Amino acid sequence: MSGAKLYLLDVEGTVAPITFVTETLFPYARKHCDEFLRGAVEEIANLFEGKLPEDSALMDLFALKSENEAETDADAPRIMPPEVSHPQPISMSPGYAIPRILKYVFWLMDRDRKSTALKSMQGKIWRAGYERGELTSVLFEDVPEAFARWSRQGRIAIYSSGSVEAQKLFFRYSDHGDLTPLISGYFDTRTGPKQSIDSYRAIVTEMKVAPPDVLFFSDVVKELDAAREAGCETRLVKRPGNAPVEDTRGHFVVESLRAS
């Protein structure tokens, strides 16, 4: 049994089947993206009246537009053509804006790009789905018991490319009930790329724990490499449906969280 003080976990392929994300969450977000964007564009009036909430969908549009302008892939659809200039380029009619935004959003989705703006948008769409009872997260059977045990001897944190909001929803509306009381921290791409050593150093600092006292679980070897370089202990998680790993690069392999 590990003596870790912080158990840090990836989500997809680690605590949840990859198929739930790819076959349920992503299609749900895609299906409801048009509805979400129409609501965001309609918030323009509230922006000028000073009534915009902190979690406004419009903020995601501004972030998405900034990412689109900085996009280096020549094949990426452009929300605003470079030859067009508007005093308020995001303030355009839904009939003009939404098809252009959707085209870029779907382009990001098709490439599984780790766009912070996209992940935030998806989180808000999923929130509506969870609250309406249309979504329930699926966890591997060993997760609840492991979380209960770890929370008694240390702390648990999540590090996923999905937004912090999406992570909280995922564990609040799970098929094993609300697990959020067992989780002490959430980290997403705003902390940094998951294959960057600095990201794990930032998490260690935020959680006020020494790197050797962190045990990181993931199904992605390059993420584990970065965590190990930061001084953390690692476990390569092998789950049904995960891509086969030819070279474990020395990471200890587990097929269940029960023994960790």
pLDDT tens per residue, range 2-37 = 689 999 999 999 999 999 999 999 999 999 998 888
Residues shown for the chain: 260
Structure confidence by residue, pLDDT tens digits, 81-97: 655 444 444 445 666 77
pLDDT at 60: 82
* Short-list 40, 51, 48, 90, CA closest to 69: 90
Q: What does the block give as tokens for 116?
A: 């912070």
Does residue 39 have a pLDDT over 60? yes
Q: What does the block give as tokens for 50?
A: 């000073």
pLDDT at 54: 59
pLDDT at 3: 82
CB of 260 closer than 8 Å to CB of 254: yes
Q: From the centroid of its chain, how far is CA 142? A: 22
CB of 239 closer than 8 Å to CB of 255: yes
pLDDT at 92: 54
Q: Are strands 233-237 and 6-9 parallel, antiparallel or unpaired?
A: unpaired
CB of 101 closer than 8 Å to CB of 79: yes
Q: Which amino acid is residue 40, in one-letter code?
A: A
Distance between CA atoms of residues 108 and 117, nearest Å: 10
Spell out the domains of the chain, with CATH numbers in brackets: 6-16+137-254 (3.40.50.1000), 22-131 (1.10.720)
Q: What does the block give as tokens for 67?
A: 């990412």
What is the Cβ-side half-sphere exposure of residue 102, based on CA atoms within 13 angstroms? 17
Distance between CA atoms of residues 1 and 8, nearest Å: 16
